[in-house]
């Protein structure tokens, strides 16, 4: 996972509420068994018309915002389906951070697992940054995760990322590896848990295929 | 050790392997059970293969093919498209190589994962169940903490039987009194979502309580817990009661004998302490809830069937005005239009929200002796192959077929249209599903969410209709 320390770039305003993961990554891009080519699918019906040509009125198709590493998004961003394809696609498109008011829970975790920084701000800070994002030439954003600040247009706006998530993002850590280092703890917990609740110990399925 | 606790707190506390920060807000959480599907799992298995890691406890897992398979009446192993075929083939190989039980599309117990797991008795009170599907919240109906996870966390769960978990805040939703005739669990949860908004429970785990919730069947409780994720709740619970225990007593994989007696004793304690505090409380009056439909493209854009399409200009804020105007434009509706004047092209009864046997009975009751309006195509996709057989044993298939509905095989089908059951652009569908997002049932398709009985009523009338006028 790519570490996130400090990143500078343009922030694109995309403030619609309740943007769901069906809209972020439509179903026709979910048919793979790998993660390839998902950048094309991001916000597909908003970015492209029925013939596959870019819609000139969509923010990410406009010159200053093409390839923007940050999006300033609306409330409840990423709601709906658990599909991590939405986050893989955003990351492949070059998006490094999302600045929002609230994120859906599964999407928020998916971001953290892929080095995509999701920042939750109070409404007034969010509104100031949204206004600055409308003037991209004058106001590049610098997001510093170590300092937990966003610098833009003379503003210095603090944000908070809880410690375990911040640590994983800063270092680009492999969560599975970290947890497997606790294998003995997991095994001990499991033994206690199943001794206390023996009906929870799973038994081999009775109708395995093949 | 601590003061009074909510049921949610008790379930989390009982599954903490280790705290991962000083406050204990983020924990390594043990996962008792999981179900896997063919579309969110492939990259998780590839991750294990790439790193040479194994599956921690394969017998805690069940694989079910449900999202991409066809639902055409004659079952074959063939998938509707090459991508789906590749996913199913890889799923089969992964389950085989890692020793995981699989219900493939030809298996007699195949169905939608959240319908199948409870049918088997795999979901027990007090469990933590994390799975790669947002509607894993369904299992709260059993007093199990179920929540959706992404593919990276599926990989983590496969490798360790744990997930990195941040505690939610407990929220109590009390529904007082009784639901009126013709009003269902679906209407209850749609009323809640409409009331608190699509992010109204974001960051919370809901505990449903109150007389109207206690009166719901176990299947109705599955419907409300399932759809709680549509108001942002990443966990929804109902304290388990005799209805749950009676159901589990009939399930093949629930514990038996001495284990059953011990389990029952423990399950009786699974409830919030009387003095426990909730971070938020919402009270709905059961009597005030009416049959609900959505008019927009977010599940909270919902109202009682007697209403009119709202005027975006009257929305509270400029951003809400913009969102509502966009939704109406997508849905092809004008402000002020009576909801009952909205004509439909399709009617869909299916999904993990509403395709269990009681749902099919309720819809069939409306359709008995009636016909689908001309120009409307109706589809019934049972929640599982077992539900399909049960319905056939009760003669419900004949009712649906005689009313002009198609009687299909099981799968997620047109709830998310990953298979070939898809709306054409501009088509309007009365749907017993959970999401009315833009393009959800097909690019350009227009979805109105409602209960299965309301779908049946709409199919008969050719437009959205109040089921109570058809004798529900």
B153·A75 Cβ contact <8 A: no
- Is A126 a residue whose pLDDT tops 60? yes
- CA distances B345 to B374, B401, B458, Å, are 9, 18, 10
A84 touching chain B per CB within 8 A: yes
Selected for mutation to probe chain A from B152, B318, B433 (highest A CB count within 10 Å) is B152
- DSSP collapsed to 3 states, chain B: CCCCCCHHHHHHHCCEEEECCCCCCEEEEECCEEEECCCCCHHHHHHHHHHCCCCCCHHHEEEECCCCCCCCCCCCCCCCCHHHHHHHHHHHHHHHHHCCEEECCCCCCCECHHHHHHHHCCCCCCCEEEECCHHHHHHHHHCCEEEECCHHHHHHHHHHCEEEEECCEEEEEEEECCCCCCCCHHHHHHHHHHHHCCCCCCCEEEEEECHHHHHCCHHHHHHHHHHHHHHCCCCEEECCCHHHHHHHCCCCCCCCHHHHHHHHHHHCCCCCCCCCCCCEEEEEEHHHCCCEEECCCCCCCEEECCCECCCHHHCCCHHHHHHHHHHHHHHCCCCCCEHHHCECCEEEECCCCCCCHHHHHHHHHHHCCCCCCCCCEEEECCCEHHHHHHHHHCCHHHHHHHHCEEECCCCCHHHCCCCCCCCCCCCEEEECCCCCCCCCCCCCCEEEECCHHHHHHHHHHCECCCHHHHCC
Question: CATH homologous superfamily of domain A6-198?
Answer: Aconitase, domain 4 (3.20.19.10)
Helix (H, G, I), strand (E, B) or coil at A71: strand
Q: Is the CB of residue A74 less than 8 Å away from at least one CB of chain B? A: yes
Look at A206 and B203; give whichever has higher pLDDT. Answer: B203
Q: DSSP letter at A208?
A: -
* Separation CA B388–CA A149 (nearest Å): 56
| Alpha carbon A103 to chain centroid, angstroms | 9
Q: How many CA atoms lie within 13 A of B245 on its CB side?
A: 15
Judged by CB atoms within 8 Å, which residues 196-255 of B form the interface with A?
198-199, 202-203, 230, 232, 234, 252-253, 255
Are A33 and B416 a contacting pair at CB < 8 A? no
Closest CA to A176 of B165, B164, B295, B150: B164
Cβ neighbour number for residue A14 with a 10 Å cutoff? 22
Instruction: State mean pLDDT over A139-155.
Output: 95
Going by C-beta distance under 8 Å and a sequence separation of 6 or more, which residues neighbour residue B98?
Answer: B45, B48, B54, B55, B58, B158
The yes-or-no verdict on residue A205 having pLDDT over 70 is no
- How many Å separate Cα B226 from the centre of its chain? 4
Distance of CA B401 to the CA centre of its chain: 25
Helix (H) or strand (E) holding A192: helix A183-196
Residue B341 CA to chain centroid, in angstroms? 28
Nearest residue, CB atoms, B124 vs list A32, A180, A199: A199
Q: In chain A, whose CA is at the least distance from the CA of B318?
A: A16
Q: What is the per-residue burial (b if ≥16 Cβ within 10 Å, else e) of B380-393?
A: bbbbbbbbbebbee
Binary contact (B435, A22; C-beta < 8 A):
yes
Contacts of B198 (CB under 8 A, 6+ apart): A17, A18, A76, A79, B230, B231, B232, B298, B299, B300
DSSP letter (8 states) at residue A24: H
Residues 6+ apart with CB under 8 A from A57: none
Contact present, A82 and B148 (Cβ < 8 Å): yes
Query: Which residues make Cβ contacts (< 8 Å) with residue A116, sequence separation at least 6?
Result: A87, A90, A91, A95, A96, A97, A98
Residue A103 is classified by DSSP as B
Instruction: Return d(Cα B227, Cα B316) in angstroms, integer.
Output: 26
What pLDDT, on the 0 to 100 scale, is given for residue A210?
33
CB B408 within 8 A of CB B72: yes
C-alpha distance from residue A92 to each of A34, A142, B235, B246, B295 (Å): 13, 20, 30, 50, 34
Give the C-alpha separation, B236 to B227, whole Å. 9
Q: How far apart are alpha carbons B163 and A179 in whole angstroms?
A: 9
Query: What is d(CA B211, CA B238) in angstroms, rounded to the nearest whole number?
Result: 12
β-pairing verdict for B292-294 and B280-285:
unpaired
Q: How many CA atoms lie within 13 A of B357 on its CB side?
A: 16
Domain edges within chain B: 16-168+242-246, 293-470
pTM of the shown model: 0.97
Residue of A nearest to B126 (CA): A200
CA atoms within 13 A on the CB side of B111: 24
Tokens 């043990």 belong to residue: B30
Q: What is the DSSP string of A25-52?
A: S-GGG---SS-TTTTTTTTHHHHB-TTS
A102 with B202: Cβ contact below 8 A? yes
Contact B65, B409 (CB under 8 A): no
Please state, in angstroms and rounded to a whole number, the distance separating the CA atoms of residues A26 and B416.
10
Residue corresponding to tokens 């709906």: A80
* Ramachandran sector of residue A12 (left: φ over 0; alpha: ψ -120 to 50; beta: rest): beta
Spell out, as residue ranges, where chain B has pLDDT lower than 70.
1, 472
Q: Which two tokens stand for residue A132?
A: 């600055």
> Per the CB < 8 Å rule, is B439 touching A26?
yes
- pLDDT of res. A206: 52
Chains A, B: CB pairs < 8 Å: 223
Q: How many CB atoms lie within 10 A of CB B338?
A: 13
pLDDT digits (tens, 9 = 90+) for A18-72: 999 999 999 999 999 999 999 999 999 999 999 999 999 999 999 999 999 999 9
Torsion B28-B34-B38-B40 (CA) sign: negative
Query: Can you give the pLDDT at residue A138?
Result: 79
Disruptive mutation site among A36, A85, A163, A202 for chain B (greatest number of B CBs within 10 Å): A202
Q: Alpha-carbon distance B192 to B289, whole Å?
A: 9
Cβ of A126 under 8 Å from any chain B Cβ? no
Tell me if A4 sits within 8 A of A97, measured CB to CB: yes
Would you identify the CATH topology of the domain B293-470?
Answer: Aconitase; domain 3 (3.30.499)
What ipTM, to 2 d.p.? 0.96
Name the band, by pLDDT with cuts 50, 70 and 90, for residue A137: confident
Q: A162 at the B interface (CB within 8 A)?
A: yes
Residue A209 pLDDT > 60: no
With an 8 Å Cβ cutoff, is A30 touching chain B? Answer: yes
- B270 interaction partners in chain A (CB closer than 8 Å): none
- At residue A162, the pLDDT reads 94
Range 1-40 of B in CB contact (< 8 A) with A: 14-15, 17-18, 20-22, 25-26, 28, 30, 32-33, 39-40
Establish whether domains B16-168+242-246 and B293-470 are of one fold.
Answer: yes
Determine phi and psi for A48, rounding to 5 degrees: -125, 150
Q: Are B165 and B28 in contact (CB under 8 A)?
A: yes
Selecting from 3.40.980.10, 3.30.70.20, 3.40.640.10, 3.30.499.10, what CATH number does the domain B16-168+242-246 have?
Answer: 3.30.499.10
Indicate yes or no: CB of B134 within 8 angstroms of CB of A80: yes
The structural domains of chain A, with segments of one domain joined by +, span 6-198
């Amino acid at each position: 996972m790519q570490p996130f320390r400090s990143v500078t770039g343009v922030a694109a305003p995309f403030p619609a509420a309740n943007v769901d993961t069906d809209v972020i990554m439509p179903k026709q891009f979910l048919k793979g068994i790998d993660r390839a080519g998902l950048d094309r699918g991001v916000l597909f019906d908003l970015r492209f018309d029925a013939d596959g040509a870019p819609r000139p009125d969509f923010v990410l198709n406009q010159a200053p915002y093409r390839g923007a590493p940050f999006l300033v998004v609306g409330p409840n961003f990423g709601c709906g389906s658990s599909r991590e394809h939405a986050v893989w696609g955003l990351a492949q498109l070059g998006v490094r951070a999302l600045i929002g008011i609230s994120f859906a829970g599964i999407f928020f975790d998916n971001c953290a697992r892929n080095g995509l920084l999701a920042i939750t701000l109070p409404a007034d800070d969010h509104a100031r940054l949204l206004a600055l994002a409308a003037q991209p030439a004058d106001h590049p954003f610098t997001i510093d995760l170590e300092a937990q600040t966003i610098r833009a247009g003379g503003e210095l706006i603090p944000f908070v990322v809880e410690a375990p998530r911040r640590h994983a993002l800063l270092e680009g850590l492999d969560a599975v590896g970290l947890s497997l280092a606790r294998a003995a703890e997991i095994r001990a917990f499991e033994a206690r848990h199943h001794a206390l609740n023996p009906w929870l110990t799973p038994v081999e399925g009775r109708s395995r295929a093949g | 050790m601590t003061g009074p606790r909510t049921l949610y707190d008790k379930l989390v506390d009982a599954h903490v392997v280790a705290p991962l920060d000083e406050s204990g807000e983020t924990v390594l959480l043990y996962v008792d059970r999981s179900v896997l599907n063919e579309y969110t799992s492939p990259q998780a298995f590839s991750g294990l293969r790439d790193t040479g890691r194994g599956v921690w406890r394969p017998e805690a897992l069940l694989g079910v093919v449900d999202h991409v398979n066809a639902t055409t009446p004659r079952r074959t192993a063939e998938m509707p498209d090459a991508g789906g075929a590749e996913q199913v083939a890889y799923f089969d190989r992964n389950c085989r190589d890692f020793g995981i039980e699989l219900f493939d599309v030809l298996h007699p117990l195949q169905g939608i994962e959240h319908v199948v797991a409870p049918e088997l008795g795999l979901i027990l009170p007090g469990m933590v169940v994390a799975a790669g599907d947002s509607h894993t919240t369904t299992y709260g109906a059993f007093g199990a903490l179920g929540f959706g996870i992404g593919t990276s966390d599926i990989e983590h769960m496969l490798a360790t039987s744990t997930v990195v978990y941040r505690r939610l805040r407990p929220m109590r939703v009390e529904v007082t009194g009784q639901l009126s005739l013709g009003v269902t669990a679906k209407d209850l949860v749609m009323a809640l979502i409409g009331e608190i908004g699509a992010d109204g429970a974001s960051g919370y785990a809901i505990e449903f309580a109150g007389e109207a919730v206690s009166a719901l069947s176990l299947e109705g409780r599955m419907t409300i817990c399932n759809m709680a994720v549509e108001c942002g709740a990443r966990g929804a619970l109902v304290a388990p009661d005799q209805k749950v225990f009676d159901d589990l007593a009939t399930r093949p994989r629930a514990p038996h004998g001495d284990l059953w007696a011990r389990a029952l004793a423990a399950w009786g304690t699974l409830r919030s302490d009387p003095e426990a505090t909730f971070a938020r409380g919402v009270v709905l009056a059961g009597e005030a809830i009416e049959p609900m439909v959505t008019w927009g493209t977010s599940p909270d854009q919902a109202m009682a069937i007697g209403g009119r399409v709202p005027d975006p200009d009257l929305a509270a804020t400029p951003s809400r005005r913009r969102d509502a105007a966009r939704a109406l434009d997508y849905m092809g509706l004008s402000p002020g239009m009576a909801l009952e004047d909205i004509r439909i092209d399709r009617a869909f009864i299916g999904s993990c929200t509403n395709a269990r046997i009681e749902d099919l009975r309720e819809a069939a009751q409306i359709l008995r002796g009636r016909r689908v309006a001309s120009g409307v195509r109706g589809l019934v996709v049972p929640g599982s192959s077992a539900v399909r057989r049960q319905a056939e044993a009760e003669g419900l298939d004949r009712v649906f077929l005689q009313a002009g509905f198609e009687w299909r095989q099981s799968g997620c089908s047109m709830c998310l249209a990953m298979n070939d059951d898809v709306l054409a652009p501009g088509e309007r569908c009365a749907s017993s599903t959970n999401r009315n997002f833009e393009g959800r049932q097909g690019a350009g398709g227009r979805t109105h969410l409602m209960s299965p009985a309301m779908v049946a009523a709409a199919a008969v009338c050719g437009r959205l209709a109040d089921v109570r006028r058809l004798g529900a």
